[in-house]
Structure 1
C-alpha cells in the first residue's frame, strides 16, 4: 500500500465487505476507474495478494483510481464463498459504488486466477446491461478451471509459461477460437514469483498501446 491507499467498507449481498481504494499519485486527476479481483478465497487469496497488488500499482501508474475488495469470508468481509456467483454480484456492487463516487469515468476490470472468472463474468453482465467496460486485464486466466465466458478481442491476457495450476495450453485453447493474443512470461509460475515486474510493465505498455491503436486512423 502507499499513502494514497484508503480502507473502506460497504454493504454487500452477504454482509459487509472490506476494501481498499488506491488514488492516483501526486494528487493527479483520475483518468478512469479500475476494479481488481483477487485469487481463490479458499486457497489464501486476498485483496493484498502480490499479483493483485501489482495490478493495482499498474493502474495507479496509469492514473486510475483503483478499488479492491476481499471476497466473502476473507479478512473482514462477511459471508461464505459462493463459487464465483455471489462474488460477481458483490463486484457489481463495487462497480456501482465506484461509478457513483467517481462519475463520468471509464471503468477497467482486472483479475488474477479465480478473479479472472469473476471479472470476465462481470464484463459480460455489464455489456448486456448497456454499460460496457473500457477494457479487461486477465492474469493467470482460469481457463479449464472455471467456465470462462467469451471476452472482448482487446482483452489483455498474461500467463506464466510454467503455470502448473492453470496450464498455459488451456489458456491457448480458450483464447484461440476468440483470436485473443496471450502474453506468456518465460519461466513464470502461477504466482509469478520474481516476475511481478513483467506484469506491471506489460499491463502499462499494452493498455497505452490500446489507446494508441484506437486513435490510429489507419486501424479504423
Structure 2
C-alpha cells in the first residue's frame, strides 16, 4: 500500500471512530454529518467523499465483512468448490474489526430504520454477488437451485460463526470457530423439509 492509500485508510478509520463515538453518545438521528466532520477535523466535503451518506458511516466496518462475493472472486479459479468456500468464509471472517463497541452499534442499527434498510440492501447485494461468482465457477446460472442453496448455506454458516465469535471473549481464533462449525455441519445429519411426493412414498 502506497503513502496515499495509507493516508486515506487512516483518515477513513478516524472518521469511523469519531462517528461511532457520536452515534453511541447521541444516537443515530441526533448525530449530523457536520458534527462528525467537525469532530474528525476534516471538511464536510472530505467526509462526503469518503462516506456519501450517514447510514454508510454507522454500517462502516460491518459491511466490509459481508463481501463474500468479493473474497470469492479473489481466490484461484482452479480451487475445488468446498475448499474455495471454506477459504472465502475465512477471508470474510479475517476482515472483522475487533470493535468492542460492535454490540452497541448493532443495537442502534437495529432500531434505526434507515441504516437497517441499508444493511439489508448490502446483504442482498452481497448474496447476489456470491451467487453470481459461485455460478460462474460451477458452470451454472446464478439462479440455479444448486447455486442458490450452496451460496445461502455458506452465508448461514458465516452468520453462525460470526455470532459465536462475537459472543465469546475473542480469545479463540476465528479459524478455530469456523473449523468447529464446519465439523459440526459435516456430522449434523441436518433434517430438511420433505417434498410432498417424498412424504407420499414414506
TM-score by length of 2: 0.32
Higher helix residue share:
2
Which structure shows the bigger proportion of residues in strand conformation? 1
The alignment's TM-score, normalised by the length of structure 1, stands at 0.30
